[in-house]
Structure 1
């Protein structure tokens, strides 16, 4: 019995996306160790050579998966922000909850996204799309220093730190007396910009 061909299974242009989706599913179900080019091909129902044709090697597939992960990650934060009030601090706390929700649903994918294992495919972006969400959400606030993106980097560090500590097997803020602090507890009260100075 011959293996199904890519043309029989997918319309032109869909196979790359289908392989990325399959890779994300495998990571969610089995962790990073369960991902391989051959496993992705089997999940989609194409020849084992198909992923190599699209991504070159496993590293190329991982980069494409991580890039899609950042797109989904960003969307989760935007959706959380849209449900918040118009208050800038409430919107900031909302994206933190979106960040945590994504991490809880996709722990292995999040680890891959922030790992040194990933080499992203060619992209005009200078930073992941999640950073754009953060920049937009922090726009109403005064910068905490003259350094570029000082507020955004501080906020991202606080959110990411609390989320990752919560997932750790050693120290966890939840083990502290009184339990883990909330995002509202750890995010600073930032000063709002003069409305006339906002871009």
Structure 2
């Protein structure tokens, strides 16, 4: 009976999405450490068994949330890139501005996608495989495509990609942790530094 009620409230496969949204709300409010299957179920208004049914365990729920967070992160970068001129330099500026905007708008999700590693990775994958998977995902592919015009002949593209990523990621973290003072430099500072690349 309980399952029938859940199906009617979250029909057409919306229950899984509702649980992910509930998890995101918990992480935003109280951090990743506060997330639990039971809290997630309560926030979504379903039985405590529902998250385990969909995700297996807490790690499975975290992985689903991280996947959604990465999708939103990628969309932030793509939207900012698409909003500017369609030139290589403007698109590079755009993805970096989107990166910084996401870090400011979603600090908890930003921290999660870069710091969370599953305790129980799939049987065929170790921690190094998971790290490599992140560089194969849509967010990194967007970075790779946007950096491509700035890679000098004979240079490994990873060199330029890492320079850009390190610059914008480092700036975002320094701002988040208040290391640049109460009035940190504007995003234009990052763009000026980017213009020295390539």
Is residue 2:37 matched to residue 1:37? yes
Distance 1:126 1:153, change over 3 A: closer
Higher share in helix: 2
140, 147, 155: which one pairs with 2:149? 140
Structure 1 gaps, min length 5: 192-199
Whole-angstrom CA distance in 1 between matches of 2:141 and 2:93: 16
Runs (4+) of structure 1 moved beyond 4 Å?
A: 119-126
- Of 128-137 and 75-84, more deviation after overlay is shown by 128-137
Equivalent positions of 1:48-87 (< 5 A) are 48-87=48-87
Q: Residues 80 and 94 of structure 2 are in contact (CA less than 8 Å); yes or no, is this contact kept in structure 1?
A: yes
Equivalent positions of 1:151-190 (< 5 A) are 151-169=160-178, 172-174=179-181, 179-180=184-185, 182-190=189-197
Whole-angstrom CA distance in 1 between matches of 2:118 and 2:177: 21
Residue of structure 2 in register with 1:6 after alignment: 6
Number of positions where the alignment pairs a residue of Structure 1 with one of Structure 2: 187
Q: Residues 166 and 173 of structure 1 are in contact (CA less than 8 Å); yes or no, is this contact kept in structure 2?
A: yes
Distance 1:99 1:60, change over 3 A: same
User: TM-score normalised to the size of structure 2?
Assistant: 0.81
**CA deviation digits over 1:49-105, x for unaligned, max 9?**
110111111111111101110000000100000111123222211111111111111
